[in-house]
Amino acid sequence: MARRERVGASLAIVAALSLSACAAEPRNTPPPAESTAPSSTMFVPDLDQFTPPPAGVIDDKTGQTTGPKAPAVWDDTSRAAAVAAAETAMTAYARPTVDANTWIEELTPLLTPKAAKDYNYLRNSTIPATQVTGPGVIVNDDSVYLAHVEVPTDAGTWTVMIVREYGDSPWLVERFAPPAGMH
């Protein structure tokens, strides 16, 4: 038994020494001196060395000219352009007796690319309206990039949703919505 007691006592001493090494007193070292120089430097290139994008280049996808874009605003000119675009588009849309190919070819430049794809599958012979009967009126202008214009026709008042990308971009139709109750 004496041997077991010696082994146990030895283990206790080793454990005590190990724990005392973990709980050593903190060193008395001074804190690092604060430096006024930045720890790293940031490289800032000379922006004048870069060539700006050329103005007047035509975008292959949109056909629009690149360059500084005018901000969109709601003023008398943009309101008149929105109404005129909606009336022109509704006039081109409300032609159920025109040949389908002619109809979509003449309507497509007035549409967004997505709308052009969507309306390509519409049979224009199913459109009940045949003519615009009065001036359009903007009924929603919450955004300077989107407007809902009501355009009266011989088949009721249609809502033409038009959008523009920039202030100097043309208004294009995203959707023609028939009068309530008509599908």
pLDDT tens digits, one per residue of 43-53: 777 766 776 65
Q: Rounded distance, CA 62 to CA 59, Å?
A: 6
Is 110 a member of any domain? yes
Domain of 132?
76-177
The string of pLDDT tens digits covering residues 64-98 is: 666 677 788 999 999 999 999 999 999 999 999 99
Is 71 a member of any domain? no
Is 55 a member of any domain? no
Is 57 a member of any domain? no
Is 126 a member of any domain? yes
Its pTM stands at 0.64
Give me the number of domains the chain comprises: 1
Q: Rounded distance, CA 173 to CA 3, Å?
A: 98
Is 157 a member of any domain? yes
- DSSP letter for each residue of 95-111: -TTS-HHHHHHHHGGGB
Task: Specify the CATH number for the domain of residue 149.
Answer: 3.10.450
Is 32 a member of any domain? no
Is 43 a member of any domain? no
